[in-house]
Structure 1
Amino acid sequence: MAHGSSRGSYSCACFYTDNIFIHEYQMHVSFTDEEQFAQEYHKALQSRGCGTPEKLAQVLETVKKEVERRKKLAEESMQRKSEISLHYKPMHPELYVLQESFLAADFLEAVHFCQSPHASLDGLLKLLDSIPGKRIYRLPVFDTQFCKDFVEELEHFERSPLAKGRPNTMNNYGVLLNELGLDDSFITPLREKYLRPLVSVLYPDWGGSCLDSHKAFVVQYSLDKDLDLSCHYDNSEVTLNVSLGKEFTDGNLYFSEMREVPVNERRYTEVEHLLGQGILHRGQQIHGALPITSGERWNLILWMRASSVRNKLCPMCDKEPTLIETVGQGDGFTVPEKEIRAETVDVCAVL
């Protein structure tokens, strides 16, 4: 799909049909109608213990509810954001505007190097921890005091009676940062001013120099909530995952090859996730999080997107994107103004 100057927010139609996660059976499925679902997934579900008509019916109902949730997601998210803006009183209002003092000294050194006339991949790699052969990089991102204050803010928000959106079908606990009002004043400048110089050097082949949108959220792991994160890939060109704390044991991240590599050929590498440290990786790299065994962990996840990459091929369905105009952020796709009417479809017509 061509791209250029853009207007509006767009998702690919596959968002409303594909990559639906069934947690109980650790499966990603797609759904267009009941016949398609039965043909594609009944045998696989039965092999994983979903063997009775009643259990299959329950799974089908869960999948249908998720499809309906996604169709209403953007509008409901905007409503929640408006309510939060009107009624939520932050504990740490100073955190809502990004300050350089929030950032770790090593992170700023790496960013300034990438902005210098001497910027190079070899030079940058001397300032980062690299996972051999994986193009995964780790470095401090936030000051430890910021992490402590930010987690306090998130816990304060969780205690409020206001409605909250979950990050995605795999993370049931956490906060969508755009709903909390952090996008324009915190996440966007973090991406544009600080992260883009880094990823321009690290991932020029993945749109690193032209990242123009994002989705940002925080996920929470604890013994009475989500313990781990199953194997998956992200709807991003480049992902940043920062450990905000608190105290926890185990729960390392693990990575393998890119998602096109067959399952039986993947080799997994564990990466320890440390307080204040961020891990950068390509969104299409298979990864997950092992269970924590004690404590509580909060992670900030930033899916960074480049419309110049995803306009040609949707990273979730591997097809030329079929665009659906939506309110809010969308999923990072753009179209020239002259093509908006011709190349978009109504979400209600998808199913």
Structure 2
Amino acid sequence: MALSDHRCQIICVHSSCVFTLKNKGCVTEDQIKEVLSEVKKELHRRETLGQAYLERRKLIQEKYIPKHPQIFKLKEEFLSQDFISLVKFCKESKTTCPDVIEKIQNGPAEKCYTLPVFTEEYCKLMMEELEHFEDSDCPKARPNTMNNYGLLLNEIGFDEEFLIPLREKYLQPITAHLFPECGGDDLDSHKAFVVKYKMGEDLDLNFHYDNAEVTINVALGKDFTGGELYFGDMRTKHSAQSQYKDYQHIRYTGLLHRGQHMHGAKPIQSGERYNLIIWMRSSKIRNKLCPMCDNEPELVETVGFGDGFTKQEEVINLCAI
């Protein structure tokens, strides 16, 4: 059984919401009605996410013929040798967190790290597969409400034999050392997707935090200029003197950071950028407090991993902000 956080699915549409909208700048009745109409549409979308996913997945399984079927099952030959060596080092019994940090590149901000993940050849094959799927007539769901382009990888078939073993066997040995305070030693679910930025389409991404305990962001390709990530503080830390730090994507390289670390993406200036993003979740952390609404989760049934809450040791779900 999969569950979601009922608190985060319910959007207030009564008088207190109207009062809030007025405080946020909606002055006229027409403006308030327009916003409330959009809120109701979003609520309906969230309530029907699970059923819509099942319908799309069924159609994709029936119709889609992969271009590179071999890439859907994880093999070590797809992974960078430096990444494999790092994972083996992290699994050694005497290895400590400072030992791991010595072997890994520091990123743009505190507790951000860069590391090679996939080979160049695998990234190219995945790019070709993604473009092949985009060109098909299969139904496509976009990653989230902030990205209008990109794909959910579980719907194409990457979860079972690729993403789950990648998280369990390769990423968690690293995150267990680097992020134990936020569940990096017990990441038991994920949401994985690819985002696309291109001139004339999505160019940037607003400042935000992820619905994740730990995030990895891998630059798959292509050629582009601009599009730097920028990092601020953790979402629970508010400082008038926040320093924003940029990170320029390096192709085939991953950036590992805490999901609650505030960040955004600057506009690309030319070309096209694809990034593979995995939001990794720890039920032992989020079962205590939903990371999106800061309340104890009130769980309702859904499908898939969802938002990674658990109940009675089952993976459950979905605080759909």
Contact 1:244–1:300 (Cα < 8 Å) also in 2:
yes
Matched with 1:194 is 170
Write the distance in 1 (CA, Å) between the matches of 2:156 and 2:148: 17
Q: Distance in 1 between matches of 2:21 and 2:15?
A: 10
Q: Structure 1 regions of 5+ residues with no counterpart?
A: 1-7, 18-30
Contact kept? 1:10, 1:324, Cα under 8 Å: yes
Q: Which residue matches 2:281? A: 305
8 Å contact from structure 2 (residues 225, 271) kept in 1: yes
CA contact (8 A) 1:134 1:257 kept: no
Q: C-alpha separation between the residues in 1 aligned to 2:313 and 2:184?
A: 24
Q: What's the CA shift string for 1:249-304, capped at 9, x where partnerless?
A: 01011111110112634321111111111111111110111111111111111010
Do the aligned residues in 2 keep the contact of 1:9 with 1:331 (CA within 8 Å)?
no
Task: Kindly indicate whether residue 155 of structure 2 is the aligned counterpart of residue 179 of structure 1.
Answer: yes
Corresponding residue number in structure 1 for 2:4: 11
Quickly say closer, same or farther: Cα 1:321–1:100, change in 2 above 3 A: same
- Structure 2: segments with no counterpart, 5+ residues: none
What amino acid does structure 2 have at the position aligned with 1:335?
K
- 1:327 positional shift: 1.9
Q: SS state of the match for residue 187, structure 1?
A: helix
**Aligned-pair distance for 1:101?**
1.0
Match for 1:252: what amino acid? Answer: E
Partner of 2:103: 127
Q: CA deviation at 1:314?
A: 0.7
Distance 1:211 1:337, change over 3 A: closer
Q: CA RMSD in A?
A: 2.0
> 2:213 aligned with 1:237, yes or no?
yes
Q: Shift in Å at residue 328 of structure 1?
A: 2.3
Higher deviation after alignment, 310-319 or 259-268: 259-268
C-alpha separation between the residues in 2 aligned to 1:255 and 1:173?
Answer: 22
CA distance in 1, matches of 2:71, 2:31: 46
1:114 and 2:90 equivalent? yes
Does residue 32 of the first structure (1) align with residue 12 of the second (2)?
Answer: yes
Which residue of the partner structure matches residue 131 of structure 2?
Answer: 155
1:325 aligns with 2:321: no
| 1:75 and 1:328 in contact (8 A); partners too | no
Query: Across the two proteins, how many residue pairs are aligned to each other?
Result: 317
Instruction: State the 1:169 CA deviation.
Output: 0.6
DSSP-derived class of the 1:179 partner: helix
The alpha-carbon deviation at position 41 of structure 1 amounts to 2.2
Matches within 5 A, 1:50-89: 52-89=28-65
Q: Contact (CA 8 Å) 2:146, 2:205: kept in 1 or not?
A: yes
Q: State the identity %.
A: 48
Distance in 2 separating the partners of 1:249 and 1:305: 32
Q: Tell me: CA distance 1:301–1:117, structure 2 relative to 1, closer, same or farther (3 Å).
A: same
Q: How far apart are residue 55 of structure 1 and its match?
A: 4.0
Structure 2: how far apart are the matches of 1:64 and 1:331?
Answer: 21
